[in-house]
Chain A
Amino acid sequence: MSTLNVANITDGTDTVETGYVVNGSAKAFFSNSQTSIDESLNISSIVDSGTGLIQGFYTSAMASANNPLTSGNNNVASGGAHNYSTGFSGASSATHYFIEREYADGTAVDVDRVSGATLGGLA
């Protein structure tokens, strides 16, 4: 495999440092239900710990527990008219947590799908 070792990338008009590309790419991503994983990178397992509670584990740990994590969910099959919120926290650089709650009253609920991506540096 060949390796390009360059400091900048340009399309002829705009130029960006390659660091923007490397640091801006997702270091892990996932799309899963409460009980299965459909699409992922850098995930070893998920743990279903109860209604609305999912913990994901990274195969290759992040540099920090505070790496940015973006996520979303949908609940179309179960009546998507409701609104749901997904809270997450990084207990360590090796794992992330999701807590899905009904927006109206904060009750934990199972949703059809949670997807997300973790950015930032790797350990």
Chain B
Amino acid sequence: MTKHLWDRLNEAKARLEPVQSQYRVLFENPEDLDAPASVLVPDPNWMAAALAGGVLPPIDTYQRDQGVADGQPKEHPYAAPMGAMTEEEAIEYLVMKDVPPQVWRDYKGNRCIMKIVPVEMIPTDRSFRNAWKINQEMELA
């Protein structure tokens, strides 16, 4: 019988060293053009579990659970865990789990509204944080 996801997370936290990702996900909300760009920061314990494998459920269980009403039984805590991911695959998994679908799946416009960037590219000066937008100047090969 598969252990509950929360039990697996507890066990993984005791066993695995946290892994601070070197990447961040920058994204803009296409439904609120005035909002500043958001920055997704992967959790180091979650990243360690993703890289080790045997802890996290398949991403499609979360996607099916998004349609489940609050308080009703969900699939992802009881799903069999998947294998190890690379850091790139783990970031893609996080995008599908924690970034709104209108950003990574449904947007059809020309503006670049999501980028996966090295952490060094995130400004440390937050003086004008609420004016942050994704730079649209792309280098062409």
Residue contact B41 to A35, C-beta cutoff 8 Å: yes
Residue contact A59 to B46, C-beta cutoff 8 Å: yes
Judge whether A45 is part of the interface by a CB distance below 8 angstroms.
yes
In the bound complex, residues from chain B placing their C-beta under 8 Å from that of A49 are: 35-36, 38
Residue contact A37 to B41, C-beta cutoff 8 Å: yes
Interface size class of B (residues with CB under 8 A): 20 to 34
Residue contact B45 to A41, C-beta cutoff 8 Å: yes
In the bound complex, residues from chain A placing their C-beta under 8 Å from that of B130 are: 50-51
Q: Choose among B36, B40, B94 the residue with the greatest number of A CB atoms under 10 Å from its CB.
A: B40
Given B9, B70, B129, which contacts A50 in the complex, CB threshold below 8 Å? Answer: B129
Residue contact B126 to A61, C-beta cutoff 8 Å: no
Query: Could you list 11 A-B pairs, sorted by A, with CB under 8 Å?
Result: A35-B39, A41-B10, A45-B46, A47-B41, A48-B38, A51-B130, A60-B4, A61-B65, A92-B70, A123-B65, A123-B76
Beyond A41-B10, A44-B94, A45-B46, list 15 extra A-B contacts (CB 8 Å): A27-B6, A35-B122, A37-B41, A40-B44, A44-B42, A45-B41, A46-B40, A49-B35, A50-B35, A60-B5, A60-B77, A61-B74, A64-B71, A95-B98, A122-B4
Binding site for B on A (CB under 8 A): 27, 32, 34-37, 40-51, 57, 59-61, 63-65, 92-95, 110, 122-123
Binding site for A on B (CB under 8 A): 4-6, 9-10, 13, 20, 35-36, 38-46, 56, 65, 70-71, 73-74, 76-77, 94, 97-98, 122, 126, 129-130, 132
